[in-house]
């Protein structure tokens, strides 16, 4: 689409919320208005698109939201949008609302819907927002830094209790298909082990490591587990069965998604939002914004699910090195 034909765009958040989404929305809105465009917000993601739940957005509409957690446009998962009929209905709605472009903030599931719209000729740009940091085409996703710091804060506090009572703790963090969050928290929190989907855990080896730390006088131990690798309860049962260890379990759950974004996520959301508007103005469609080696870049949306976001082997090995 030529620049002079882009007059009115929409923005929506879809899937799981992530800290920094509001910063990205704010940047999309203000970046669009700065360039002479009208902007509407589509509430509750694709579900809201199908139901016509849209609101006009102005400079003042997004005032004061940059430091708010969650997404003020709200979010939802939409099963109907996974079917061709739902996609076609969404495209009809976009045209009815006289929209000429769309910014979708979410994870790979949200991007699949965006790609279907793009294949039908509608200009869509994605912003990767997920605390799992599991999307290829970007070094980090919106919300990951905040979630990692939230989890680390909990781990640091648990270590105080673990040390005081000479206990072993298992902390379960989010990450259905990726252990990125668990791995970073384990390294930063001084854990004995990170149990992640990318590396099967050797229970006997883990038992030997925990026994070794006890023998050298360490009064506490910590294991961080990603929910997609193994539940904390299951891991604790196996360690109890193999070596008689008694663990205290903490499942952090959705607390990791909440809270004000960190400086890194507020800045990242702001940069990505403005860059997404620029991409639409330049006629891009079916692409996602990413940050690679500190520089903003565009990748085709399918990169998000067709390529695997690999964890650095060096970081996986570092947990073992530092926990001797």
Sheet containing 193-195: give its strands across.
Answer: 193-195, 221-226, 168-173, 247-251
Q: Is 60 exceeded by the pLDDT of residue 4?
A: no
At residue 308 the predicted structure's pLDDT band, cuts being 50, 70 and 90, is confident
Mean pLDDT score of the chain: 93
Q: Is 70 exceeded by the pLDDT of residue 295?
A: yes
Task: Tell me the angle at which helices 21-34 and 263-281 cross, rounded to the nearest 10 degrees.
Answer: 40
Q: How many helices (H) and strands (E) does the chain have?
A: 11, 11
Domains, the chain:
3-143+261-306 (3.40.50.450), 145-257 (3.40.50.460)
For the chain, percent of residues with pLDDT exceeding 90? 80
**Alpha carbons 82 and 91: distance in angstroms, whole number:** 13
Q: What is the mean pLDDT of residues 37-55?
A: 97
Assign 3-state DSSP to the chain and report helix, strand, coil percentages, each to 5: 45, 20, 35
What was the pLDDT predicted at 221? 85
Q: What is the mean pLDDT of residues 131-158?
A: 96
Q: Is 70 exceeded by the pLDDT of residue 1?
A: no
Given 132, 134, 145, 265, which residue is catalytic? Answer: 132
Contacts of 67 (CB under 8 A, 6+ apart): 22, 23, 260, 261, 266
Closest CA to 87 of 126, 128, 49, 40: 49
- For 68, counting Cβ atoms within 10 Å of its Cβ (0-12 exposed, 13-18 middle, 19+ buried), the class is middle
Please say if 132 is a catalytic residue. yes
What was the pLDDT predicted at 220? 76
At residue 216 the predicted structure's pLDDT band, cuts being 50, 70 and 90, is confident
Q: What is the mean pLDDT of residues 105-110?
A: 95
Q: What is the chain's Cα-based Rg?
A: 22
Q: Is 80 exceeded by the pLDDT of residue 166?
A: no
Token pair in block for residue 88: 């076609």
Token pair in block for residue 37: 């465009």
């Amino acid at each position: 689409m030529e620049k002079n034909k882009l007059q009115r765009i929409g923005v929506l958040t879809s899937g799981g919320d992530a800290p920094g989404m509001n910063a990205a929305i704010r940047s999309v809105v203000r970046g669009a208005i700065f360039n002479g465009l009208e902007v509407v917000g589509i509430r509750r993601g694709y579900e809201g698109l199908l139901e016509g739940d849209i609101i006009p957005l102005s400079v003042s509409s997004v005032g004061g939201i940059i430091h708010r957690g969650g997404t003020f446009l709200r979010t939802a998962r939409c099963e109907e949008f996974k079917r061709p009929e739902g996609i076609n209905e969404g495209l009809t709605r976009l045209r009815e609302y006289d929209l000429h472009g769309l910014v979708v903030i979410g994870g790979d599931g949200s991007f699949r819907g965006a790609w279907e719209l793009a294949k039908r000729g509608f200009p869509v740009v994605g912003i990767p927002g997920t605390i799992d940091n599991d999307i290829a085409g970007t070094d980090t996703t919106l919300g990951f830094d905040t979630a990692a710091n939230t989890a680390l804060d909990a781990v640091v506090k648990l270590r105080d209790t673990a040390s005081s009572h000479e206990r072993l703790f298992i902390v379960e963090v989010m990450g259905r298909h990726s252990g990125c969050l668990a791995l970073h928290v384990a390294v930063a929190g001084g854990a004995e082990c990170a149990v992640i989907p990318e590396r099967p855990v050797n229970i006997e080896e883990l038992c030997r490591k925990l026994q070794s730390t006890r023998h050298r006088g360490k009064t506490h131990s910590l294991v961080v587990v990603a929910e997609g690798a193994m539940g904390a309860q299951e891991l604790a049962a196996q360690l109890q069965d193999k070596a008689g260890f008694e663990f205290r379990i903490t499942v952090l759950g959705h607390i990791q998604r909440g809270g004000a974004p960190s400086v890194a996520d507020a800045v990242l959301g702001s940069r990505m939002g403005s860059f997404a508007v620029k991409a639409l103005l330049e006629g891009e469609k079916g692409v996602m914004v990413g940050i690679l080696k500190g520089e903003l870049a565009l990748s085709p949306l399918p990169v998000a699910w067709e390529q695997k976001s690999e964890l650095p082997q060096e970081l996986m090995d570092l947990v073992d090195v530092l926990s001797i």
